[in-house]
Each structure stands twice: as C-alpha cells, then as structure tokens.
Chains A and B, each alone.
Chain A
C-alpha cells in the first residue's frame, strides 16, 4: 500500500511540477534581439579589462573591472553600500512622489483652465530653464543641509516634465471627443473622469518617465554638494580618497538604478495605456 501511495504522491508532485512549469514558462521566449543589447557593453568591459591590464590606463586613474567589482562586493558584505543605496533611493522616491504630485496638480490646472495657464505657464516655463545646480545654494540657505533641501531639489527636477507633458496633453485632447461629450450632455466631472483624464494619461506617463530620469540627475547634484550619505556622496568621497574604483562603481550603480526605474515606469506605461 505504501508504495502505491508513494507512487501516487510522486505522480501528483510530478503533475504539480508540470503545471507550475506550464504556468511559469514565458509564453513568449526572451527574444534574441533583446540579448543583443548586452553585447556591446560586454565587449566594452572586456576592452576595459585589457586596456588596464596592458598598462594603457594607470590603475590610479581607471581601475580594472574586477577591482571595482571586488570593492563593491566588499562594501555590500560590510553593509556600508546598502546604507548609501537606501538613502539615495529614498530621496529619489520622495522627490518623485512630491514632484509628480505637484506636476499633476499644476498640469491639470493649466491644462483645464486658460486663466491658470496664462497666469502660471510663462513663469513655470522660465523656471524650467534654470540649471539644477543653480538651485543648490539657495536650497541650502533655505532648508539647511538636511533631507528637505535634497528632496525639494529632486522634486523640482521631477516636476517639470510631468507638468509640461500633462498640461499640453490635456490642452491637446481631441476636439472630436469633446464634441461627443457636448452632444450627449456629459457633466463636467464625468467628462474629466471618463474622457479628459484617460485621454491625457499617455502624456502624463511620458512626463513621469522624464521626471524619474531627471530625479536621478538631481539626486547626484544634491548629494555631491551636501551629503554625508548616499550614492552621490560615495562618488565625491571616492574623489577625496583618490579611489577611482569607488567613483567608477558609483557611476555604474547610478546607471543601473536609473535603468531599472525606467524599465519600471515603462512597464507601468504599458499596463495603464492598454489601447492604441
């Protein structure tokens, strides 16, 4: 009896495993073309290795890829790296949250109301042209060197793309659809909910994508100048300590994190904008 049970159990496990595999196997296999994107970076790393090993670059200027990797693995093991990473990610997250929220608020206002647009848009358009670094002294003066100065700076960076895209997205909504709404006497609030916001959603997400990208630029600006923690601090600390491995590694981490967040927003975009 025991063997029969065992046999059944094994079969059931086998079937469960087969079912699990069926459910978890991607229906569209990873396309060879998406792998191609790794070829050139991979070759560059190989070149980098041989250029340093061959003495073309001095290790105190450009360390070998393996050195960078070892340094960061050690920093990861000691826990030091996670502190910097989490602080930076937190700043970006809060900055994006506040910046995107403000962008949605002002973008909606100027998109919907001509008066708000006439009053605010010229001002915001000119503020947009101020380089990120120019704000730093002022924010330090206002907020001190605490978190609020950094988060405000990042929020400012995330704000403009969201504001600009949403505002023009709402203003550029298809007149034909607005006529339909007019013919069928759809109320103002319902029009917002059913027509204007969905119509402006693709523009909003384009803005969010740009905003998240700029948030990473601004976090570097904020952390390079006034921080005692974070990836940007690590970067400037690497310069002070004459540790090129830390500098190069931090830059690569910024690239990785920026890419990761962009992939995330892109996935969100694809999910929310399911039409067209």
Chain B
C-alpha cells in the first residue's frame, strides 16, 4: 500500500533520511518512532507528496507519489492547521472533493464528537477539539492512507489519551492504512499493529517491532509493556 525503497532525502547539505525501506500494508496501522532529527516527519512528508527531490522511490498503491500517488493520502499535522477565518464546518468541508451538502459535513463533525460546534471558529476551540476538526477534514477526504504527524504531542496527558481512544474508534469506521509518526513509545505501541524504529542521523530503519495483540487493548497489558521494552531497546534508551 505505502512503500519506499532506498529513500534518501537531503535538504541542501543535511541528509535527513538514508536508504529507508518502509512499507505499510493495506489497512495496517504503523507507528514510526525515533529520536528528534531522525527524519521521521520527513518520511511522512515524502509519502504525502509534500517533498520534491529525493532519491529512491516512494509510492502509494504502486503509483509513485510524484506521479499522483499521494492524491489518495490525507494528513493530520502536529498543529491542526485550520483556516482561522473559516467555521468548523467550512474547515471540514475543505477535505471533501467537490461540493457537498451541509448535512454530510455535519455528520462527519458529529462523528468526531463536535456536534453543536459547526459554526464555531477555530479560535473558540480547545487544542484537542481543533485537532479533531483536522482529523474530520482528513476523514472527509476518504483517503486510502491517513498520515498523522505527531498529532497529539501538543496536548496534555489526559486529552492525549482521550484522542488516542478516539482515533481508534473512528479508524474502525474507515479502512484506511494509518501511519502515525510519534516520539511517544507508549503511544506508538498501544495504537499500532507494528512499530518502525528509525535511528541515526541521517535516519535509517533500525528495527520493525510487531505488536502481537488484538484490540481493544489494556494499556497495562504485560505484552504491551514487553513490546515497549523492545522498542526502547531498539532506540538505544
């Protein structure tokens, strides 16, 4: 579904990624973890078609990202990136292709738990709510793959747990492949089917760790803790 081969990406003199082979299967939930500066966000940006000029290949469903492959990809960024002058409804509408009736947009707003806020402006929302608008916008796009770039890192601990549960909920409704970039090992392991550990500078894939648990999961499950340890070991922590 999502695939990179020998992906190398450099910004001027700095090499962000070197020879990264990454793959996510159809419907798979993959977390990408790594220390700051290992290029994990760059990997996501390449897959989203936001970076031009890289070596190797990156493709979505077999189509190279620079040949329209990234058209089927939705992204939720670290900050919600909502249009400050547009209501929640208009912000979510941006994700739809073509024109849609208010009802359809509002259904989606309700699905992310924001009914009643259709005409609110982004400045009236809390950080968690704004991030859910960004998620609704991503879902509106009906992407084959949803890429999340540290979407919860700016939230407080409690809101973060709430939003994680919420992400799993809405994910049950759509069968998109999900790639979550995060620096939070607990989050990566709890949410994903598989954790890709990046390391080094420039970043390369250090290890792939499968999470051998069905959902719903208990956060305190021994097997999760075990997996977490494997990930932190791979990170060299």
Contact = CB atoms under 8 A, between A and B. Distances in A.
B121 A183 contact: no
A179 interface: yes
Nearest to A182: B50
Interface string B73-95: 11101010101111000100011
A238 B71 CA distance: 70
Given A180-B81, A194-B86, A195-B83, A185 B73 contact: no
A198 B83 contact: yes
A182 B77 CA distance: 13
Contacts of B137: 184
A270 to B, nearest CB: 14
Interface in A51-99: none
Contact of A198 (B75, B85, B97): B85
Q: Which of B71, B73, B94 has the most CB of A within 10 A?
A: B94
Contact of B94 (A180, A198, A274, A276): A180
Contacts of A180: 75, 77, 81, 94
A176 interface: yes
Interface in B111-166: 121-123, 137, 141
B85 A274 contact: yes
Contacts of B95: 184
Given A198-B86, A275-B84, A276-B123, A183 B48 contact: yes
B26 to A, nearest CB: 20
Contacts of B48: 183
Q: How large is the interface on B (under 10, 10 to 19, 20 to 34, 35 or more residues)?
A: 20 to 34
Q: How large is the interface on A (under 10, 10 to 19, 20 to 34, 35 or more residues)?
A: 10 to 19
Nearest to A197: B85
Contacts of A275: 84-85, 121-123
A186 interface: yes
Interface string A225-266: 000000000000000000000000000000000000000000
A181 B71 CA distance: 12
Contacts of B202: none
B84 A276 contact: yes
Contacts of B75: 179-180, 183
B76 to A, nearest CB: 10
Contact of B49 (A176, A182, A198, A274): A182
Contacts of B121: 274-275
7 contacts: A180-B94, A183-B70, A183-B74, A184-B94, A199-B85, A274-B85, A275-B121
Given A186-B94, A275-B121, 16 more contacts: A176-B81, A179-B75, A179-B77, A180-B75, A181-B94, A182-B49, A183-B70, A184-B95, A185-B71, A185-B97, A194-B83, A194-B86, A194-B90, A274-B121, A275-B84, A275-B85
